[in-house]
Structure 1
Amino acid sequence: MAVSLGGNSGGPMSEINVTPLVDVMLVLLIIFMITAPLMSHSITIDLPTANPKTPDSEMSVPPLDLAVKQDGSTYFNDHLVTEAELRAQFAVSAQRSPQPELQIRADKNTEFKIVKKIIGDAKDSGMVHVAFMTTDAPKE
């Protein structure tokens, strides 16, 4: 901001020098004019299509059922298991070929950190097929 102290009136003159402001605004305008068209281009990719039919080879392997209650207790195929037993089951199931799918049914009020730990244990054991089981939305 430039302030002129001279002049005939004897007091300070309060005129704002807008030239630097205009220069900055023009530079920003040019930058946005160049980058705006680049942001609007979309990248085209081929998304996989959902196939509800599973091959017969996958149907022969029954999925692993894991239920997690609100208090954190876990039931592997409807049997109460501890954390160590669950990790052992994951390690055994990860070695099978073809590997069964782990289907996790967690209570709606279960803290996510419990489910996250179970997923981490499954991943560390080598499980690659993990699914979440939900209920259908209520029809109105």
Structure 2
Amino acid sequence: MKRFDTINVIPLIDVMLVLLAIVLTTASFIVKDNLKIDLPQTQSTQAYMPEEKPPISFHIDANNQLYLNEQPRSLADISDFLVSLDKQQPLILQVDKQANFGDFVALVDAIKQQQLTQLTILTKAAP
């Protein structure tokens, strides 16, 4: 009978690589929402289907702070950024229900001034 002095770890490494690939693949699909935006509820909310182009996200939190792709910005900075966008660029707008309506209107007005038409305003479905 042959004596085994060492353990073959190659199958263990193969299994660990497969598990690592699975974890990395599923982790990339988890959406992490750093901003605490409490969306208003609506009765006619539809499921959001992202466009082929990756959308640009705008947020207004309860403290009326504007965000561009989760980075705090002023309305002037956002207006300057909007000038460089393609007219068919998809945009997502999330506004906290405690935010001032005036800030929402100012952001939508800045978007419309640049004739950007692919705007989606996200809400959550009422129970």
TM-score by length of 2: 0.56
Segments of structure 1 that go 5 or more residues without pairing to the other structure are 1-51
The one-letter amino acid paired with 1:113 is G
Counterpart mapping for 1:1-140 below 5 A: 59-93=51-85, 96=86, 99-138=88-127
The Cα shift of 1:113 comes to: 1.2
Structure 2 Cα separation of the partners of residues 133 and 124 of structure 1: 21
The structure with the largest strand share of the pair is 2
Structure 2 Cα separation of the partners of residues 127 and 79 of structure 1: 21
Larger Rg belongs to: 1
Contact 2:51 2:90 (C-alpha < 8 Å) held by counterparts: no
Structure 1 Cα separation of the partners of residues 61 and 111 of structure 2: 18
Deviation above 6 Å: which 4+ runs of structure 1? none
Structure 1 Cα separation of the partners of residues 106 and 57 of structure 2: 17
State the partner residue of 1:27: none
SS of residue matched to 2:98: coil
Q: Deviations over 1:110-131 (max 9, x none)?
A: 1211101111111112211211
The structure with the largest helix share of the pair is 1
The Cα shift of 1:133 comes to: 0.5
Alignment length (residue pairs): 80
The one-letter amino acid paired with 1:74 is L
SS of residue matched to 1:122: helix
State the partner residue of 1:21: none
CA-based RMSD: 2.0
TM-score by length of 1: 0.51
